[in-house]
Amino acid sequence: MKILLASSEVHPFSKTGGLADMVGALAKTLAGFGHRVGLVTPLYSGLREKFHKIKKLNWDINLPLGPGQVAAEVWTLSVSARLTIYFIRQPDFFERPGLYQEAGRDYPDNAARFVFFSKCVAQLARYLPWKPELVHVHDWQAALVPLFVRHQSLSDGWHRVPHTCLTIHNLAYQGNFPASAFELTNLPAGYFNPKGVEFFNHLNCLKAGIVFSDIITTVSPRYAREIMTGQFGCGLEGILQQRRESVFGILNGVDYSEWRTTRNSFLRHPFSAKRISGKLSGKLALQKEMGLPVNAKIPLFATVSRLADQKGVDILLGALEEMLGNEMQFILLGNGSPFFENAYRDLARRYPDKVGVRIGFDQGLSHRIEAGSDFFLMPSLYEPCGLNQMYSQRYGTIPVVRTTGGLDDSVVDDSEDPAKATGIKFAEYSAPALARAIRRALNLFQDPPRFRAYRINGMKADFSWRRTGEHYLRAYEQAQAQLT
């Protein structure tokens, strides 16, 4: 199959979150299966300097954008014989300090930036010599592509049009812009209506993708069901219910070439399910690195997270206030809301022998936290997929999660299957409910045989991208079978 992916961020070239990891890994996986894969993404500041093999292609783009014209260049990087990255170089739009915002504020021309990017993707989908058969776009920044493809097929003589797939990574981010932004699409006014791209008199880019793509995927099976409800649908549950038969929930995978417990440059103490002793050495080293008392007998909890309401960091604060009277330690690595940053710093000041906090992000430290901790806390309000609970299991760290989205799909509680349990789940979104889950974890720590069984079960779980890639291929093939 010939597949063109499109995303506003792709690891290792650009990243603000899990979107970049997912798209980069999916592209490598599909190419590894033997498919022809292209991946379109903006050429952001510094990429040519960092990746010297990025070369300009003899392909200039000049497209209408509202009343004007915007020019761009196409640059490429050949990753392998079957995988090519296509970078859209438009300096005025993409050579900036941030991807979407600066100093905490969205760029005011984000509509123009990503309408133009979507037009460029459609242009490549139409004119690439290898003729993509399916275009797979990700989140609102590329969600207008299916509409541009559909419109050109109906009005501009584009034959053998590729099928389209939209993946929703987080429905809360929709690319909502004032109605005047619709002019940037240069599409007929008939598309701007409640059955099209209009949403409460705004242009809604994600809604456009939901309406006009051939199939829709989300990043976990449970999230696919959740977004069709009023609680999680963010106003789009009705249109998603109408597309129910075309929606597939596919759990994200883990790149085990990066997230591994042996031959990992970030880990000083390698270990495996068969030789677990290195994990204890990693725990002691982590306690020392974070300035906590070094003691193997103290259960060590951790989280690596954006400090935002979605991640449950508010109820985590409340639960820790209740539970830190017990013999336990807690480590946090993350940044985000200044309120939560200050609150966790204050917690560390008040409990210097029990709480270690590092504000910011450190890739190496995130690996050492996953490897050295006993329990990993993810009390998310909602979590489309989540990756840390899967990293934790591979690293023999027991996840404590709320039953939402991908967290529910990827963790097994002993109430579901005692023999296959990998973690601890709780349902109610509250600090007391999380505190009860932490108390269960403390009890588990005091039962070494059960504690070890959870660890080994988690380390043997398969969240590989091979499994995830096979699910995507089945979705692509089903779309082609239905729509041919």
Which pLDDT belongs to residue 151?
A: 95
- Please tell me the distance from the alpha carbon of residue 277 to that of residue 54, in angstroms, as a whole number: 43
Nearest 10 degrees: Cα torsion 153, 159, 163, 166: -30
Which pLDDT belongs to residue 279?
A: 97
Q: How far is CA 156 from CA 92, 215, 387, in A?
A: 29, 23, 42
Q: What is the distance, to the nearest Å, from the Cα of residue 389 to the centroid of all Cα atoms in its chain?
A: 13
3-state secondary structure of 211: helix
In DSSP terms, 86 is beta-bridged to 40, 76
In DSSP terms, 254 is beta-bridged to 464
The tens digit of pLDDT for each residue in 92-144 reads 999 999 999 988 899 999 999 999 999 999 999 999 999 999 999 999 999 99
The tens digit of pLDDT for each residue in 324-352 reads 999 999 999 999 999 999 999 999 999 99
For residue 71, give the DSSP letter. E
Instruction: List the structure tokens of 372.
Output: 């050295």
What does CATH list as the number for 277-462?
3.40.50.2000
Stated pTM of the model: 0.91
The tens digit of pLDDT for each residue in 393-448 reads 999 999 999 999 999 999 999 999 999 999 999 999 999 999 999 999 999 999 99
Rounded (10°) angle between helices 205-212 and 145-155: 50
| Phi/psi-derived region of residue 266, left when phi > 0, alpha when psi is between -120 and 50, beta in every other case | alpha
Q: Are 82 and 36 in contact (CB under 8 A)?
A: yes
Q: How far is CA 309 from CA 19, 339, 379, in A?
A: 19, 11, 10
Amino acid in position 281:
S
Q: Domain spans of the chain? A: 2-253+466-483, 277-462
Instruction: List the structure tokens of 78.
Output: 């050949």
Question: Using CB atoms within 10 A of its CB, is residue 349 exposed (0-12), middle (13-18) or buried (19+)?
Answer: exposed
Is the CATH code 3.40.50.2000 the one for domain 2-253+466-483?
A: yes
* CA proximity to 167, closest of 481, 479, 482: 479
Which pLDDT belongs to residue 482?
A: 63
Q: What is the distance, to the nearest Å, from the Cα of residue 54 to the centroid of all Cα atoms in its chain?
A: 25
Q: Residues 72-80: what's their mean pLDDT?
A: 97
Which pLDDT belongs to residue 16?
A: 87
* 2-253+466-483 and 277-462, same CATH topology: yes
